[in-house]
Amino acid sequence: MNNLLDTYAPLNIKFTHGEGCWLWDKDGNRYLDAISGLGVNILGYGNSEFTQTIQKQAEKLIHLSNLYEIDTQQVLAQELCNISKMDKAFFCVSGAEAIECAIKLARLYGQEKQIKNPAIIVCNNAYHGRTLATITASGQRSVQAGFEPLVPGFVRAPFNDISALQHIAETRQDIVGVMIEPIQGSGGIHAASLDYLKQLRNLCDRQDWLYIADEIQCGAGRTGEFLYSQHANVHPDIVALAKGLGNGIPIGVCLTRNKTNNLFTKGKHGSTFGGSPLSMTAGISVLKIMEQLKLIQNAKTQGQYLIKILNEQFQNNANVTSIRGKGLMIGIELKNLPLGLPKKAVDLGILINITAKNVIRLLPPLIINNQECNILAEKLDTLISDI
């Protein structure tokens, strides 16, 4: 009997170890990983500095709880705040938990403004996680269906459409903020325009709404800036990050700024595992290695290169309807995408993911180099030309 609840459909392949952007299976075959544990393994596999750092920390202390001071929380919080231009951090262990934190902050903000039932604007096609509040905030029916009743306090709007938000501003008094996934990842790699993000910042300022950025997938350097919001030069009031921050050691974080800094008071929020010595050491090490290896710059240059060669190679392929993304967050949309494509990719020696039914999603480690981009493009050519 299979003792696992039936939530996933894993491919029948077992990996034994990895190095750089590559994974090996038990028969010694190697695979170029273009999905990196769903955008998590940003340093790739087997980075010796990272491994030794967490190994040493594991020997000293793994977990303590927030009953006691943990110095490295302040170190990582300060580094994240400096790089994101935010003020304060709450550490947790997953993306959904970081979004829950953001939602709770927004509700407290509303209560402070005497709004009895505060509502947050969320976008169609967004993905914010799998808890009850985050599936409600998500704009994909597939993650909500069957889990009704959903959580009240969310208002839906079309993505990338400022006039729809302006209309809501004119008609409702209960809005406290807008939560935006600046590049919709699970929704099929759709980036909000930089102009829209700027207009959204202005609208939030005018309305005294919070600008909440879910940068769980597009943040932590993946698009060529630490935050995607930085491409638009906009400054959110709350930022949620997770995935790549711990390179596989679970870390989520909710960053606040200015008017969102003092909404929580002691006892208002918490997380048993949040801010553990092991995860803080992992986060500090990730940021250090990112800086040493100039990974944000690498995401930018390799991303531009990969998109360029993909565009060249698929320009005459009528099945490829769009190649889009920013940095190393790339989507290839196909008119016809047959079932079983990820398995065919495995057989060719690459790991990819399909999202939004017909989009090949690429989220490779941020260490990927030119030669590996060439191999990936070549294998994708074989994969897609064979359809």
Residues engaged in binding ligand PLP (CB under 6 A): 94-96, 99, 127-129, 181, 185-186, 214, 216-217, 242
Phi, psi of 196 (to 5 degrees): -60, -45
Q: Pick the closest to residue 327 from 232, 239, 248, 221 (CA basis).
A: 221
DSSP H helices, 248-294, are 277-292
* Least Cβ distance, residue 135 to ligand PLP (angstroms): 10
Our CB check for ligand PLP shows the closer of 129 and 139 to be 129
Our CB check for ligand PLP shows the closer of 95 and 177 to be 95
* Least Cβ distance, residue 129 to ligand PLP (angstroms): 4
Residue 267, judged by CB atoms within 10 A of its CB (0-12, 13-18, 19+), counts as: exposed
Phi, psi of 72 (to 5 degrees): -70, -20
* Least Cβ distance, residue 216 to ligand PLP (angstroms): 4
How far are the Cα atoms of 116, 188, 313, 319 from residue 338, in angstroms, in the given order? 49, 16, 20, 11
CA–CA distance, 5 with 30 (Å, rounded to integer):
30
* Least Cβ distance, residue 185 to ligand PLP (angstroms): 5
CA–CA distance, 82 with 60 (Å, rounded to integer):
28
* Least Cβ distance, residue 240 to ligand PLP (angstroms): 7
Our CB check for ligand PLP shows the closer of 129 and 277 to be 129
Tokens linked to 368:
């990927």
* Least Cβ distance, residue 245 to ligand PLP (angstroms): 10
Our CB check for ligand PLP shows the closer of 56 and 357 to be 357
Q: Is 21 strand, coil or helix?
A: coil
Q: Pick the closest to residue 123 from 59, 40, 211, 48 (CA basis).
A: 211
* Least Cβ distance, residue 181 to ligand PLP (angstroms): 5
List of E strands, 158-262: 175-180, 183-184, 190-191, 210-214, 238-241, 252-256
Our CB check for ligand PLP shows the closer of 4 and 318 to be 4
213: number of Cβ within 10 Å: 28
Our CB check for ligand PLP shows the closer of 144 and 301 to be 144
Our CB check for ligand PLP shows the closer of 123 and 380 to be 123
CA–CA distance, 250 with 274 (Å, rounded to integer):
9
* Least Cβ distance, residue 38 to ligand PLP (angstroms): 6
CA–CA distance, 343 with 331 (Å, rounded to integer):
18
How far are the Cα atoms of 268, 331, 349, 357 from residue 22, in angstroms, in the given order? 43, 21, 10, 26
Q: Are strands 30-33 and 22-25 parallel, antiparallel or unpaired?
A: antiparallel
Task: Name the closest residue to ligand PLP (Cβ).
Answer: 95
The torsion angle over the Cα atoms of residues 354, 341, 301 and 299, rounded to 10 degrees, is 50
Our CB check for ligand PLP shows the closer of 252 and 320 to be 252
Our CB check for ligand PLP shows the closer of 249 and 320 to be 249
* Least Cβ distance, residue 105 to ligand PLP (angstroms): 16
Our CB check for ligand PLP shows the closer of 128 and 257 to be 128
* Least Cβ distance, residue 371 to ligand PLP (angstroms): 29
